Structure formats: structure tokens, C-alpha cells
Structure 1
């Protein structure tokens, strides 16, 4: 057994680079899976992209079955239920590579994630035996039906009802679910209803159940090749043995599964961003203007570098979080009857990190997709080129799996709840900080690789503690109503985790492969941290000005000036170097 790192503890403690999993830690099996899935997407999925976008019958489901035959639908499922029972890093790799497949990746993600995992984690032995083999092979497709017209972010406001029949053998479901991915193809639907209008409960619903029907396909901005439709229940009789988990505990199923969905969505954004960067880099090197490839121009280099940096950040936080989840699973007895539920409950420990991955990944992809279109210019706006589809497809990720606004509220709420329970000593750290800030001494400069950046990140943590401690003292339990402040607190948490993950990864590369190998990761980390210093200054001033005035505000601003001192590097030259490394490799790169 190894000691598990507490979720959110990165805000108040230092992490050793050796504790962080990075893509450079792939073993031979990981590399084999990565290459195999990448080849499948390139050779099977991408050539069928037009048919997928038009939702031609049998194309997506046929490809899903092929993925099942290769074992890529069941990486999370135990062998005894037809799966390949791989580690969580393998699942991450598969998700990332499939993300290049556009709409296909949405069908894949909904099936393997929020569609299958509720049964794996919360199903009893009989339910697992009945459903998991077909889901692992692709013979059955899964969907997840939670959202309703009046219950989106407020999922517990669901109106779908379930009533037990007189003979006690069935629950009769009535209601409608909206925006359900895979609805048209689903054989198995994870649905939520309130028993007697009160007890929020999860059910496994077979598509061929009388009274279950599927509405018309939604006409969407992007991901046009995925099925998105309503699922309608009209006196649908669901056997009592298909209750998933405990009656009245459906929220445990729904919210724990959404944590995993958020994490996997961020992973998918990482893969899609890599694809967008490849498209932009290749075009920039081919497109001639003023007798030069536009790749040579400083502003284009700046864009390419920023695209690579944001992708590096997303990839780093995804694998760091994946490593945390993998360590959790390795510490559990996976042969135990309640192993699945223990995994799900354990992942709740990392709810903060899952929300961070979702927010940072989706917003990074939107940035990269937008810059991809800009670099291609007029061609980027034309559907004959991939940039247009990448741009449209990316936008949904900030809405999927809980909007980014909801996730920004979840992050501070989760951290404050853990602090109140004594799970992480945030309150003690904030009080200690107040004493520390009264002392005039400043830390000495560090000669360690990225020492200046590390000190900046430590100061970012202090700024968060300063702001959150002040907010907690001022508002108490009413802080939950101050959404603008909570949102800024979440922004700070996101960026602390992002910047620290980048720094730790660069140091780990340097320790294992030498500083020359880590040079590009170091430059990307330095650029990212440099960009964050003025952001933290502005965010903190916003929040302090909203909470305090007079001498108190001036005192806090004075403290802030001390915490945002930073010697700016020549980021223009650093970004030129980063762009040149991308051009040299013709793709996203970390080690030049």
C-alpha cells in the first residue's frame, strides 16, 4: 500500500516530481496501445468522417464494434465481464487518441464513460454479468439520460417519476430526458427518476422496453455525427432488479460518474488540441505570403507556441490526475464485491482535480481551435478544411459534463467542505500565512531548475489563501452566494495546478533525461508562469476590492504587490524557440 495524495492538497504542500505521472513514464504496453488506437483512428475513423457527420446508418456503430473487438471499449471492465481490465493510464491513452475522431469520439466517450461506468461501479453482480460483456464488445451501445428541460445543471430538479406496480415487480417510468448522447443507437440507457416523485434513483433501462421512445435528432452547431435526441418514457415498465445502486441514492451514481466524465472530457480535449496544432503547423509551413512561409512570421510563431504551451499544460494536468486515480485503484482490492463503488467513491477524493481538468482542457482546446482557424485564414472558415470542424466541435466541451461555470463553483465548494471536515488544513494554512506576511523577509533566490517559477507558483498559492481566507472570514456560510468571488477563487486553483504540473513535469524530464531534453518543457513552463503573474494580480485585486475598502484594502494591495514581484523573461524569444521546435517535429512536442 502506498500513501495516497489528498485531493486539493497541492494548494498547501509541495509535490515531488517523482510523485507525478507524465507521458514520459509510458511503459511498453502503453506505447503499444497508443500506437494501435492512433492507427485505428487514422485508418478507419478519419476516412469515414463524411459518413459519420451525415450519420449514415451503421457507420458509427460498426466502428464501435471494431473497437470492441480490439478490446478498446472494455479497458475499464474486468476480464471476467468481458473487458481487458487495463490500468487507468491505458484508458486515458485510448480516450486521448480517439478524440481525433471528431463526432465518433463523442459516441465513444459517452459509451465507455458515463454509459458503462455506472453499471461497473454501482451494479450488482447479476447486472454486471448481464450488461458489461455486451458493452465491452460493442454489441450493445450505452447512453446516459440525466438532463431534462428543467434539470440541466440543477440535476436534482428532475421531473421524471417512477412508481412501483402493485405486484412489486416493476417501476413504471414517466418523463422525458433531453440532449442525450447516443440516444438513437443506445441499447442500454442509464436513466434517473424520482420514485414516488421524491427518491432520486438510477435505473438501467433496456431500449426495447415498451414505452421507451426516442425523439428527433437535434440539429447542432458541431459534433453533427453524434446522436443527440430526447429519450421519452411513457408508462415504461422497468424490472425492479434494474434499479442501479440504492433507492434514493441516485445522486451518488450521477455525481460520481460526472467526476469521471469531466476528467475524461479533459483528456479528450488534449488529444483534439494536438490534432488542431498539427493542422495549423502544417498549413503555416506551406502557406506562402510575401515570398515567405507564414510560419516564419513572428505573430504566427507566437500563436503556434501558445497552442503548444496550452496543449502541454492540458496534457500535464490530465496525466497528473490520471496518475492519482491509478494509484487509488492500485490500492484497492479489485476482486472485492464492492470494488467498483470503492473506485467511484475514491475518485470523489479528486473531484477538484477532475473539475480543473475539465475547465482547463475545454478552454485550452477552444483557444487552440480558434487559433487554428485564424492561421488558416479564409481556408480555416471553409468546411473542406479540418479547422472548421475542429472549431465547431470544440465548443460543446465547455457545456458537457456540467458547464464550466458550474465546475468553477464546485471547486471552491469542494475545497471548503474538505477544509471544514479537516481533510486538508486549508484554514490552518491561511492563518499561518497571515503571520508570515507580517514578517519583512523575502525568500532567497533559488538556483534549482525553474526556481524562479517555483517561487511564483508558491506565491500564487499564497494569493489564493489570502483571498479565500479573507472571503471566508467576511462571508462565512454566505460565501456560497458570492459567485463572482468563487469563480475567481476557482481560476486561481486551476492555474496553480496547471503551472505546478508543468513545472514538475519539466523537472522530472530533466532528472531522468537531462536538462537539454527538458529545455522545451522549461521554456513552456516559464512562458506560462510569466503570463499568470499579471492575471493573479488582477484577479486578487478584483476580489479584494469587492470585499474590502479603506485601510484594509490598501494593506491587502500592499501584500499583493510583494507576492506578484517577478522578473519577466524574454517570452518573445522563448516562444520563437517553441514554435521552431513544433515546426521541426511537425506536431505537438515536449522534447525537441
Structure 2
């Protein structure tokens, strides 16, 4: 086992009940030479082939999307995650996420095509296909000779993916399945060569996956291109199957295993979606900063106005937090994969289990970063003022493209409930010990609080203590809710949504602080002044959000003395000893962004 995997790697969800040392997390500053070279190559490709042709993408040039995808394939960008034996580069999970990050910011149209092909179009075959299927299809998909699509959603089956009506009927000679049904919102449909199609055999409880080649003479037809708010040059069509013949050997995995394939594919898709929003935030922040420096009102650049500084600081802070949490989780997944491979697991099994282990974190990231890019692009429009609303500037397209991120890979509402639901299930399986910490917090509520004044003289000492207290808030609220509602907890969706927001803010804030702490230790405080301010600012907001969401939950299900006790506990757990000066922090961050005319962190 290599030395990188010997560090203390928490299991998925354990961040809530265990403390993480900053040395044990991965940050973007830890990229190795190969990863830095990949980053530069992808950024150069993005600028040359995507950003430079943004107007054509906005004009719904679907042929350009396909053309640029082929160029990406020729440079190996479609094959980063594919094992070498199937024509891929066989790079680690962090490199996969890095590529998705830096190739996705030119336009949401290409980002969607890229993500649909490399993720849900190729990955199900790589991870669930048998050897014959992988040798037949994966090399063509890895090179860009063929493109993939993923046919899951139906008019009556969206979030409830397993309720699809598409049928697969075995032919009389037993050699084919005849697939009939309708799929919708299928990315890459207009130029795909192969599709992962989910259908139900007879009255099976669960759907089954199939590899279907796109042959219009075989009962496959398509609707017109959808006219969408954003991602305009992403080919999105309905696909109709009418007794489409699929060889029995093209069943993917086992009969009835389709729902599991779909869910695991979405887990990977969620962290990749978070990554795909990161460079978009950097670019929007950069573009807004440049405009704010150039735009003069009342004889001064608007970048000098406090209202604009507030926006630039918040935009940069959210981007920094998203980077911190996404790469932390990506390396956790990569390390878990490496551990399983070292223990003798196949690549397929190792990657499946590695990603599945951190499904909670993947849902957290999908929600947090997709909402951050929407807010970032919205503020970008605001900084541009009237010009931001015009198609002559890139802000309105960024805003429109960002909107879909909160919907696909499972809506943010679904992912919020999934995150908490998966955590509770892990606790019930004994994978995450929530019971004992929750009982300890309950006992603390009835005990006499300490009136000692802690020593918070070291950098981040109070912030790290605050993170511990915020974890107690989640354990207090979730523990009481589980005790009250038991197996009916899943019916209380407003409660789950609030608990998820608490969970999300804890993970994002902790990741941000740990990244900065690690970099301060190796580079010194002076070099990290902006990062320190962003970490403290993000935590300040997290405390506010958690306080509101926890209070909503407590007054919704607790009464009398229990309610009063929990509200007192909430006040204790969200109290700063030294309240941060957020005005000064925003000023410091914004002035660094303005001075460099870009997102500089």
C-alpha cells in the first residue's frame, strides 16, 4: 500500500463525529506535477476551443459541440478515468475531477455533453460491463470515435427513477430483448452512438440496464431538439423505442440491477457536477472583477464601492469553499479505491465501493456548489448592472447555464433528503456511530455548562471549536428527531431539508478551514491572508444558517421543557467568544480580487 493511503481516512459521513487533521486532507495546492500539467492542458483547450466560440454555442450550434467533443477525445480528455487496458489514461479520481473542473467553464453546453459522455454514458459500462462489453464499447467511447448517452428519465419517472414504464420483452427465440418506451431529457441524444437504457423486464421490482446501439432502422426515433433556458448547444431530445432489438448479451450487469447502476452512476455524477461548477465560479468572479475595475461611476471605479466589494468577496469565498470540499472528497474517494485495489479488489469493485462509500459527501457537494454557482452568476449580472442582462456580455449566459445544475443528477431537494437518509442508514449499519455522540450531546444539554474562558490565541482555535459545536447542533436536532419519528422520519421532508442544510454547512466550513490551516502550516500566515479571511467569513455564514435551520426544526417538533432546553443548547453551540469582523474580512478579500483583476486564490 502506498504511503498516501496510510493516513487516517475517515469513512463516508464520519466527518460529523470524528475530528480530521488538516494534514489528512487533500487540497488543490497538493496537485502533483502530472496533475498540474493536465490542468494547464485542459485550461488551454477550454480557452481555445470552447470560450473562444461561446457565441456559436449560444446560437445552438450542435455540430460545434460534437466537433469539440471529438477534439477532446483526440487529446485524451474523454479517457482520463478509463483503465489503460480499454484505451484510457487510467488516471486517478482526483485527476478525473480536475479535468471535469477545468474543461467545464467555457459553456454549460459543452460541460453537459462532456459530463454525460464521460460519466453516465461511459462509466456504467466500465464499472458494470463484462469483459466482452468493455472491450467492444469502451475504447471507442474513450477515444471519441463514439459518444454515449444515458436513457433513464421518462415523462412519469424523474426523481422516482425506478418507476419507469419502458419495457423489455424477451423474444421468442431468446436471443433479443425488445425494448419499447419513451425517454426524455436525454443529453447527447442527437449525436450519440450508444445508449445506456433502463427498462423493466416483465413485472420485476427493479429496472434493468441495457447497452443499446443507436440505429434508427432498429425502432429508435427521436424528438426535435428541446428549446431550453440554458445549455443551448447541448443536444437534448426525447428518445422513443419501438420493439428495439437488443441482443441478450447487451444486458448490463444482472437482471434487476438497473436501479443500483443508476444510483451509483449518479453518485459519481454528483461530485463531478460540483467540480464542473468550480471553474465557472472562478471565471465569473474574474469577469466581474475586471468589469468592476473598468466601470467608473461618480469618477471612481465601482470596485472601490463597499457594495461591490461585498459581492466580490462573497463570490470568491464560495468558490474557495467549493474547491476545498470537492477536492477533499475526491481524494478520499481515490484513497479508498487504492486501498481496495491493494486488498485485491478488481478495478470495477474498488471504484464502485470507493464512490459509494462517500455518497453522502457527493450529495452535499452537488447541492452546495450548484447553488453557489447560481448565486455567483446572479451577483455577476448585478455587478454588470444593465449590461449584465444583455447577451453582449457573458453573464446572462452563465446565469442561464447555471440554473440546470440544481436540477440534474437528482434535484437539490432530493439530494438534501438523500444525504440525511444515507447518514441515518449508515448509523443503523454501524458504519457511523451517531448514537453515542448524540447521547453525549443530550447529556451535555442537561449538565451544567462550563464558564471557563477558552484560550483561542492560536489561529483557527476558535473556528475549529465552533465546528465541533456545530456538529453538536446536528446531533442534537437529528438525534431528537430520530427518537421522535423513528422510521417515519423520511415522511418529514421539511425537517430533513433543514437537517441537510446543517450537515452541508458543517462539511463545507470544515473543509475550507482545514485547507487553509494546512497551507498556513507550510507557507505561513502572510501568504494566506485572503484564504484565512475567506475561511472565517464562510464559517460566520455557516453559523448563521445552522442557527436558523436548527431553530426551525426544534420549534417544529419539540415542545415545552424539551424545546426550551434545545433552544438554550442551540444558543450555546452557536455562540462566538470573539465575533469576527466580517466587514474587514470582505474588504481584504475583495481588494485582493480587485488588485489582481481575477479570482487569485
**Superposition TM-score, scaled by structure 2 size:** 0.96
| Contact map agreement 2:267 2:359 (CA 8 A) in 1 | yes
| Secondary structure of the corresponding residue to residue 517 of structure 1 | helix
Contact 2:166 2:200 (C-alpha < 8 Å) held by counterparts:
yes
Matched, 1:572 2:577: no
**Which range is displaced more, 256-265 or 192-201?**
192-201
Matching of residue 440 in structure 1 with residue 440 in structure 2: no
1:204 corresponds to:
211
Deviation at 1:197, TM superposition (A): 3.8
Contact 1:144 1:189 in 2 (8 A): yes
Whether the 8 Å contact between 1:527 and 1:571 is mirrored in structure 2 is yes
8 Å CA contact retained: 1:334, 1:340: no
Q: How big is the shift at 1:354?
A: 0.1
Residue 117 (1) aligns with residue 123 (2): yes
1:84 to 69, 85, 89: 89
The one-character-per-residue Cα deviations of 1:520-573 (angstroms, maximum 9, x if unpaired) are 111111111122223222211111111111222112111222112113221111
Q: Does 1:262 align with 2:262?
A: no
Segment drifting more, 44-53 vs 106-115: 44-53
The Cα of 1:334 is off from its aligned counterpart by 8.6
Cα distance between partner residues in 1 of 2:118 and 2:547: 41
Aligned match of 2:386: 378
Whole-angstrom distance in 1 between the partners of 2:132 and 2:458: 56
Q: Which moved more, 1:283-292 or 1:334-343?
A: 334-343
Asked if residue 589 in structure 1 is aligned to residue 589 in structure 2, the reply is no
* Aligned residue-pair number: 590
Q: Distance in 1 between matches of 2:241 and 2:343?
A: 36
Q: Is the 1:53–1:226 Cα contact (8 Å) retained in structure 2?
A: no
Q: Mark the CA change 1:16 to 1:335 in structure 2 (over 3 Å): closer, same or farther.
A: closer
Q: Superposition pairs for residues 521-540 of structure 1, below 5 Å?
A: 521-540=531-550
CA contact (8 A) 1:214 1:231 kept: yes
Query: Unaligned stretches of 5+ in structure 1?
Result: none
Query: Equivalent residues in 2 for 1:336-347 (5 A)?
Result: 338-347=346-355
SS at match of 1:73: coil
Moved more, 17-26 or 556-565: 556-565
| Paired residue secondary structure (2:271) | helix
The separation in 2 between residues aligned to 1:346 and 1:403, in whole angstroms, is: 23
Cα displacement string for residues 103-159 of structure 1 (whole angstroms, at most 9, x for unaligned residues): 111111110111110011001111111111111111101111100000000001100
What is the deviation of 1:335? 12
Deviations 1:194-228 (A, max 9, x none): 01142410011100160111211111000101011
Match of 1:559 in 2: 569
| TM-aligned CA deviation for residue 47 of structure 1 | 2.0
Among 158, 162, 176, the residue aligned to 2:168: 162
1:310 equivalent to 2:318? Answer: yes
**Distance in 2 of aligned mates of 1:284 and 1:479:** 48
Residue 53, structure 1, aligned to residue 58, structure 2: yes
Determine the structure 1 residue equivalent to 2:519: 509
CA distance in structure 2 between the aligned counterparts of 1:365 and 1:491, rounded to whole angstroms: 17
> Counterpart in 1 of 2:240?
232
Q: CA deviation at 1:251?
A: 1.1
Match of 1:426 in 2: 434
- Give the distance between the partners of 1:294 and 1:58, measured in 2 at CA: 40
Match of 1:222 among 227, 230, 235: 230
CA distance in 2, matches of 1:418, 1:479: 15
Greater shift after overlay, 100-109 or 259-268? 100-109
**2:340 aligns to what SS in structure 1?**
coil
**Given the alignment, which residue of 375, 381, 405 partners 2:413?**
405
Task: Tell me whether 1:132 sits opposite 2:138 in the alignment.
Answer: yes
Q: What are the Cα deviations for residues 220-273 of structure 1, in whole angstroms up to 9, with x where unaligned?
A: 000101011111100000011111111111111100000000110001111111
Q: Cα–Cα, structure 1 residues 334 and 106, in superposed 2: closer, same or farther, change >3 Å?
A: farther
Structure 1 match to 2:16: 11
1:339: how far off?
2.1
Find the residue that maps to 1:179 and give its secondary structure.
Answer: strand
Query: Aligned with 1:232: secondary structure?
Result: strand
Aligned counterparts, 1:168-187, within 5 A: 168-187=174-193
The SS at the match of 2:449 is coil
Structure 2, unaligned stretches of length 5 or more?
none
1:542 corresponds to which of 552, 574, 578:
552
Give the structure 1 partner of residue 333 of structure 2: 325
Deviation at 1:452, TM superposition (A): 1.2
Q: Distance in 2 between matches of 1:164 and 1:339?
A: 32
SS of residue in 2 equivalent to 1:178: strand
Q: Tell whether the 8 Å contact from 2:169 to 2:179 is kept in structure 1 after alignment.
A: yes
Specify the alignment match of 2:155 in structure 1.
Answer: 149
Deviation at 1:80, TM superposition (A): 1.4
In structure 2, how many angstroms separate the alpha carbons of the residues matched to 1:492 and 1:442? 26
1:442 and 1:176 map into 2 onto residues whose CA distance is 65
Cα deviation 1:37-69 (Å, max 9, x = unaligned): 101111112222222333435322221111111
Quote how far apart the aligned CAs of 1:448 are.
Answer: 2.7
Report the Cα offset of residue 442 of structure 1. 5.2
Q: Distance in 2 between matches of 1:135 and 1:49?
A: 25
Q: Which moved more, 1:408-417 or 1:191-200?
A: 191-200
| 8 Å contact from structure 2 (residues 62, 234) kept in 1 | no
Measured in 2, the distance between the counterparts of 1:393 and 1:307 equals 17
> Equivalent residue for 1:42?
47
Matched-pair contact (CA < 8 Å) for 1:75–1:85: yes
Q: Distance in 2 between matches of 1:155 and 1:46?
A: 35
Cα distance change on mapping 1:556 and 1:139 into 2, 3 Å = same
Match of 2:461 in 1: 451
TM-score (norm 1): 0.97
Q: Give yes or no for contact 1:256–1:345 (8 Å, CA) kept in 2.
A: no
Cα distance, 1:293 vs. partner? Answer: 0.3
Quote how far apart the aligned CAs of 1:337 are.
8.3
Structure-1 separation of matches of 2:510 and 2:549: 19
Q: Which whole-Å CA distance do the structure 1 matches of 2:36 and 2:246 have between them?
A: 43
1:338 Cα deviation from its structure 2 partner: 4.1
| 1:447, distance to aligned residue in structure 2 (A) | 2.8
1:49 to 1:172, Cα distance in 2 relative to 1, 3 A? same
Partner of 1:301: 309
Q: What is the CA distance between 1:428 and its match in structure 2?
A: 1.2
Partner of 1:74: 79
Q: Is the 8 A contact 2:506 2:542 kept in 1?
A: no
Instruction: Name the SS of the counterpart of 1:173 in structure 2.
Output: strand
SS at match of 2:178: strand
Mark the CA change 1:57 to 1:463 in structure 2 (over 3 Å): closer, same or farther.
Answer: closer
CA deviation after TM superposition for structure 1 residue 4, in Å: 3.9
